[in-house]
A and B are shown apart, each in its own frame.
Chain A
């Protein structure tokens, strides 16, 4: 049940933020510090999410070689400017392949 509340709250919260952008006067962007900050918050969150999901299982840090190799494949695909879905498929394929080999 509580997962449902989290699902609904996330949906509502994200919608409220989208709507706020269309409603708030555009003046708030006049301050370059606000512009810089709002541009960097997603960078911080996305990096933290990548790092935590790559290296952690719950509260313990773990080095899963197959998962890290999959992320390496994602980096290679991104460097080659592959589209989003190709990046994800490359990552999953490498991780699955290594696990199949017993890594």
Chain B
């Protein structure tokens, strides 16, 4: 924006901001095109193209969307499916807590910004140096990801709706593969994460024949309870 940048601190800030915008665009577009996979998975699960698109526009957090589609595809209860999908979105509240100070938004700006508080925007924003760069990274990721995610959801859903048998081209594996990819970086957190994951998998699979679809996944959340019950001694 400035014709001459002489102040070295300002020049450094400007470079940091430019780097944040680059980070944001690459994450936003790279992850955004995965809307293709969501659109395909949603239609495979039995949602209409319109339902898939509205889910992307309103929910705009991939794991919850894949979760709802998965429960509907498995013939599960919609109440359990909705609760599971919303519970999964609980981590976004945590990102919001961490980002609130950096973003510093109030009023209608806060209402708009909230929709973009998700894995990718939080990751890009927290990786930047300085508040201006963090904000630039957050909003660049938010806008590019929102546009790409919704455009490719429509493409994936409409494309799949024209296919005969989505299972034949392996689309039923997209849901579990997407969850695994989202889970992967969290497992590096150490023994606690791996123990929780194993317990959750055992609980969910063991409960599957006994409970309506969607409920076993919610039940598996109790695998995280030991972290809450254990005393403060660990800290």
Contact of B178 among A9, A28, A56, A88 (CB under 8 A): A88
Output the nearest chain A residue to B200 by Cβ-Cβ distance. Answer: A44
Q: Are A41 and B179 within 8 A (Cβ)?
A: no
Q: Are B189 and A39 within 8 A (Cβ)?
A: yes
**Residue A101 is within 8 A (CB to CB) of chain B in the complex:** no
Cα separation A1 to B178 with both chains bound (whole Å): 27
Q: Are B86 and A14 within 8 A (Cβ)?
A: yes
Per-residue CB proximity of B95-119 to A under 8 Å, as 1/0? 1111111010100001101111110
Contact of A49 among B54, B67, B113 (CB under 8 A): B67
Nearest CB of chain B from residue A37's CB, rounded to whole Å: 4
Nearest CB of chain B from residue A95's CB, rounded to whole Å: 3
Cα separation A41 to B180 with both chains bound (whole Å): 15
Q: Are B100 and A21 within 8 A (Cβ)?
A: yes
Output the nearest chain A residue to B48 by Cβ-Cβ distance. Answer: A3
Contact of B179 among A5, A29, A31, A49 (CB under 8 A): A49
The main secondary structure of chain B at its interface with chain A is helix
Q: Are B81 and A21 within 8 A (Cβ)?
A: no
Q: Are B204 and A52 within 8 A (Cβ)?
A: yes
The 28 listed contacts between A and B (C-beta, < 8 Å) are: A3-B51, A4-B51, A5-B78, A11-B54, A11-B58, A15-B58, A17-B90, A18-B61, A18-B114, A18-B117, A33-B235, A40-B193, A41-B224, A42-B90, A43-B196, A48-B201, A48-B221, A49-B70, A52-B70, A53-B179, A54-B176, A59-B213, A61-B209, A67-B173, A71-B177, A84-B34, A88-B181, A94-B170
Q: Which residues of A contact B (CB under 8 A)?
A: 2-15, 17-24, 26, 28-29, 31-34, 36-61, 66-67, 70-71, 74-75, 78, 83-85, 87-88, 91-97, 99-100
